[in-house]
Amino acid sequence: MGIESKGELDSRTPAVIEEPCGRRRFLRMAVVFVAVAAFDALALSASAWARRHRPRPASIGNEEGEGGAPTPGLTAPYAAACVMEPTTATVILDKNMHQPWPTASLAKMMLMLLVAEKIHDGSVKLSDTITTSRLASKMGGSQVYLKEGETFSLDDMMKAVVVHSANDASVAVAEYVGGSTEAFVVMMNQAAAKLGLKDTHYYSVHGLPPGPGQSADVASAYDLAVIARELVKYPDVLRWSSIDVTGFRNGTFELRNTNHLVRTYPGCDGLKTGFYYAAGFNVVATAHRGGLRLIAVVLGSPRKNQNFEQAAVLMSQGFAQYEMRQVAKNGAPIAQSVAVKGGVTASLKPVWGKDAAVFLKRGEEKAAYKIDYRLPESVTAPVKAGQQVGVGAIVVVGRVQDEIPLLVPADIAQGSWWQRLMGRI
């Protein structure tokens, strides 16, 4: 009976009747589960790889290089470099210095130069009020979050540009000075041509990465050193670029210098940084020690802060190996005299019209340079104090390094008729 009952159960009970089918369904579900898990793992792995290798969004880049390392192809400490002494334009280090390179925000150096020149010639004033346009308010990357219609002085805008590398402030200044960003870019390229920069071309006023169909702003390490050489002539530029931290918008926004060297390298007072994914980490730095100024350009460092480390090393090597040796002091007499015809005195000893120094390797003897006095045989009285009578040319290794005016030290009046007569004999 029990056997029959079991048989009935085997033939009628749905659970028992469907048991073989249930095993097959379980196996199918297990296979699907394993396949889905494997697919998810593969997708997760692919997503992680894509995150590591995808190009950085152009609009997100900032001067600190947040968001990861730049172009994987960059492996050396830098792609190009140049170290220059600005007074004589002597280059003491050259690594691919004529190779055009994406400037990133180093493009703003030309904006800084044009503004400094305009301030110097009186075309604009530091107190001028600049109103933020709609275009300026919509700039990405490094910015001070200008709102359309918001106003700041030119001085404050330039602090934002130089210290914080603000793209919105760059556009606002360019529009104010040039009328439009397009017109200002023309001015930038004209200025580059005037300086003889053969490896430089600008397409923007800020240096942000180019969009589809656009070209990147480019310049070589040498060209950037030449621009820096012009910039250090202007006290306002060094005043801006040497700021460590300052307030903006009534102190509600902090401007912290993107150039770490102003905090970490003794004597550093500028100049500018630049970064985006394809350009790597770039810096144009300058420092002044013991009467000697050096400019170091480092382009395309692959890791954050490596550009600063390399610029510091290059400048330190330069300061250790070279010096500016004073050879003339403003107002001091030279070693030669000039005859005076018809004057109350028979001769005068010209004085230097300004200080002068020669750029030499440390330890080099005086024979490494000479002074070529270019003077007339005589001058005719009367002559006035400060009147130029000649030039002192400082020649280093056969090349004229500087030409200093030679001046009359004091008034010399005409002599008596007898003195004038004797002066003509």
DSSP structure string for 384-410: -TT-EEEEEEEEETTEEEEEEEEE--S
pLDDT at 47: 37
pLDDT at 422: 58
Considering 322, 339, 363, which residue would you say is the last residue of a domain?
322
Q: Are residues 144 and 84 located together in one domain of the fold? A: yes
Domain that holds residue 353: 329-424
**Confidence band for 14, pLDDT divided at 50, 70 and 90:** very low
Angle among Cα 42, 43, 46 to the nearest 5 degrees reads: 85
In the predicted model, is pLDDT for residue 72 greater than 90? no
Question: How many CB atoms are closer than 10 A to CB 117?
Answer: 15
Q: Are residues 303 and 350 located together in one domain of the fold? A: no
Q: Are residues 397 and 265 located together in one domain of the fold? A: no
pLDDT at 71: 60
Considering 322, 352, 368, which residue would you say is the last residue of a domain?
322
DSSP structure string for 40-87: HHHHHHHHHHHHHHSPPPGGG--TT-TTS---TT--SS-SEEEEEETT
**Confidence band for 33, pLDDT divided at 50, 70 and 90:** very low
In the predicted model, is pLDDT for residue 115 greater than 80? yes
- Answer for the pair 216, 105: CB distance below 8 angstroms, yes or no: no
Distance CA 31, CA 314 (A): 63
In the predicted model, is pLDDT for residue 311 greater than 80? yes
Encode pLDDT of 371-381 as tens digits: 999 999 999 99
What average pLDDT does this structure show over 322-342?
A: 93
pLDDT at 240: 98
Q: Are residues 256 and 401 located together in one domain of the fold? A: no
**Confidence band for 38, pLDDT divided at 50, 70 and 90:** very low
Distance CA 318, CA 314 (A): 6
Q: Are residues 256 and 213 located together in one domain of the fold? A: yes
| Interstrand relation of 280-289 and 292-301 (parallel, antiparallel or unpaired) | antiparallel
Considering 264, 291, 322, which residue would you say is the last residue of a domain?
322
How many structural domains is the chain composed of? 3
Q: Are residues 107 and 194 located together in one domain of the fold? A: yes
Indicate the angle between helix axes 154-164 and 167-178, nearest 10 degrees: 140
160 located within any domain: yes
241 located within any domain: yes
What average pLDDT does this structure show over 21-46?
A: 44
CATH (domain of 401): 2.60.410.10
The dihedral region occupied by 9, where left means phi > 0, alpha psi between -120 and 50, and beta the remainder, is alpha
In the predicted model, is pLDDT for residue 189 greater than 90? yes
In the predicted model, is pLDDT for residue 13 greater than 50? no
Q: Are residues 122 and 163 located together in one domain of the fold? A: yes
Distance CA 1, CA 8 (A): 10
Q: Are residues 173 and 27 located together in one domain of the fold? A: no
Q: Are residues 168 and 28 located together in one domain of the fold? A: no
In the predicted model, is pLDDT for residue 75 greater than 90? no
Encode pLDDT of 391-408 as tens digits: 999 998 888 888 999 999
- Answer for the pair 60, 68: CB distance below 8 angstroms, yes or no: no
Q: Are residues 206 and 252 located together in one domain of the fold? A: yes
Higher-pLDDT residue of 289, 50 = 289
pLDDT at 417: 62
Residues 6+ apart with CB under 8 A from 86: 228, 229, 232, 286, 293, 294, 295
CATH (domain of 267): 3.40.710.10
Phi, psi of 269 (to 5 degrees): -135, 25
Q: Are residues 261 and 384 located together in one domain of the fold? A: no
